[in-house]
Structure 1
Amino acid sequence: MTPPPTAPGGTWLITPPSDGRLEAALGAQPDVALLDLEDSVPPYDKDTARTAALDHLGAAPVHGTTMLGVRVNAPGTVHGLKDLVALADTGLRGTIVLVPKVESARELELVAQALHATAAGVRVCALIETPRALLRLDDILASPVLGGVVFGAADYAAATGCRRTSSSLRWARSAIAAAAAAHALPSIDSPCFDLDDPEGLRREAQEARDLGFTGKGAVHPDQLSVIRAAFCPTEEEVAQARALVSAADRSGGQVVRAGNRMVGPPLVAAARAVLDRAGIGTERSVNGGTQ
């Protein structure tokens, strides 16, 4: 079976599809602009929001470096079913469909099956935001239709009764990032909802990067620069990575000493990943071969 296309990592900016907010979102150039039909849209306005979102998606699913996507309502709800029928009727191409409240692989497969006949290149992503989903994480992420995973901290905290703090959410975030890496899927951390705390956002974004997430969500364009800076390697990290890769290449990929560190294949692989994130390619693999 051909693997599904995966979603981008980096910055995901979630925005209502109406009120002109998409234009502001696109101006900030996130990697993904996610049109929200769920939490940010009241029940009386969902039909209008769905129409607006489909108009945007049908007109141009990609704007420069920004890919459009849509967070539908949960498939088990009336509005979720309406969303899927409308998406199937529109015949989308090359967009992201984020499914909330996912608790089983079967839910994702039903969404993919509903869109399969008319939607080409759609990336079905799972929003993990309940304790039951965490307990079934490996089965969910093993789904052959899945193209990425997003953590929903607010709903998870509400469901568990925990505080939305770094220490309270560390296990859930670590589990999601690790499971996504095991299945070679992009993983996006939950947004920071406090718009007046840039230091808190910076701290959250750095923690997400350190845990292994490939990106982080945002709820306002002003948050994107902080997230980008957190996920971009520092000059010091790039210099260290260059030194490790250079030492490994000179030794043919064997364990060597670089400065005051012993360097073997796992450390070299990590160094190459740092250079990749910085946009610096390397010509040799950790074993001395070509990439």
Structure 2
Amino acid sequence: MTTALAPRTALFLPASNPRAIAKARSLEVDMVILDLEDAVRDDAKAAARAAAVEAVGAGFPGLCAIRINGIGAPDHAADLVAVAASACDYVVVPKVESAAEAAAIAQAAAKPLLAMIETPRGVLAAVQIAAVPGVAGLIAGANDLRATLGIPSGRDGLALALHTIVLAARAGGGWALDGVFNALDDADGLAAEARHGRSLGFDGKSLIHPNQIAATAAAFGPSDAELADAQALVEAATGGAERFRDRMIEAMHVAQAHALIARAGSRSG
């Protein structure tokens, strides 16, 4: 469980790319995730691990995380040791499939864990994974889920898996982050998918390119109209059930309005 404000934008960067890391320090992104897994060649893993530790030691304007290689991978144990000794805020773990795996990694890494749900087993165990102490939230691995489920494209076939990830994260009191959008030159498609993610209840979205940050932050942040309505609701509320404009409100709605106002003041805002 985490009480921290969830990131709207979480940008994956290869830990082996120093130019990308340097550029990330100037970006308006909520979380940088330095990747030691898919984005790094096998022969560059050790160098990338050292670079990630150095980079998080220097700090980022927002949150920083390191994605380690998964359980069973040759570099998994070395990644865990490095992350535990590093200054990163979170550890991201690919293809988590059980609560036991999540608990073991959270203990070894000594960092809050963001578990990627990327397989059918992971989806079916998501509730138990999210409930593990030390798990701060879940990240949907849409690409791997699509592949393992045999879905050629689109989001329709992922509906149950995505809903399950959000439900599990909420039951565990943690964050829920949507998966990446692969097309780099489809701004309209990105915005539409980000809006869809917000409509499902996701807090934010993982990204693969800096040009995806602004549209995603806008989609997951409140609009001017939503913000104005929330501020007016808070000012008007006097306690208990009462009428506000064209609807009935109570304490739950006031809490939601406060949360939305806080969201507007987050880094992506």
User: Is the TM-score greater than 0.5?
Assistant: yes
Match for 1:176: what amino acid?
A: I
Distance 1:241 1:4, change over 3 A: closer
**TM-score normalised to structure 2 length:** 0.90
In the aligned structure 2, how far is the partner of 1:7 from the partner of 1:206? 19
Would you say the 8 A contact 1:7–1:147 is kept in 2?
no
Would you say the 8 A contact 1:6–1:147 is kept in 2?
no
Instruction: Using the TM superposition, give the Cα deviation of residue 236 of structure 1 relative to its aligned residue in structure 2, in angstroms.
Output: 1.2
In the aligned structure 1, how far is the partner of 2:240 from the partner of 2:237? 6
2:149 counterpart of 1:151: no
Distance 1:222 1:4, change over 3 A: closer
Comparing 259-268 with 213-222, which one deviates more in the overlay?
Answer: 259-268
**TM-score normalised to structure 1 length:** 0.84
What residue number does 2:72 align with? 76
What residue number does 1:22 align with? 21
Instruction: Using the TM superposition, give the Cα deviation of residue 4 of structure 1 relative to its aligned residue in structure 2, in angstroms.
Output: 7.0
Moved over 6 A (4+): none
Instruction: Using the TM superposition, give the Cα deviation of residue 169 of structure 1 relative to its aligned residue in structure 2, in angstroms.
Output: 1.9
The one-character-per-residue Cα deviations of 1:7-50 (angstroms, maximum 9, x if unpaired) are 84221110111232111222213111111111111222222222
Match for 2:75: what amino acid?
A: H
Three-state SS of the structure 2 residue aligned to 1:27 is: coil
RMSD: 2.1
Q: Which has the higher contact order (CA 8 A, sep 6+)?
A: 2
What residue number does 1:272 align with? 258
Three-state SS of the structure 2 residue aligned to 1:125 is: strand
The one-character-per-residue Cα deviations of 1:71-114 (angstroms, maximum 9, x if unpaired) are 111022212223223334xx123521101110011112222332
Aligned length: 265
What residue number does 1:101 align with? 95
What residue number does 2:112 align with? 123
2:184 counterpart of 1:198: no
Q: How does 1:157-236 map to 2 (within 5 A)?
A: 157-236=146-225
What residue number does 2:36 align with? 37
Would you say the 8 A contact 1:54–1:87 is kept in 2?
yes
Unpaired segments ≥5 residues, structure 1: 117-121, 281-291
Three-state SS of the structure 2 residue aligned to 1:126 is: strand
Instruction: Using the TM superposition, give the Cα deviation of residue 51 of structure 1 relative to its aligned residue in structure 2, in angstroms.
Output: 2.2
Unpaired segments ≥5 residues, structure 2: none
Give the share of equivalent positions with the same residue, in percent: 38
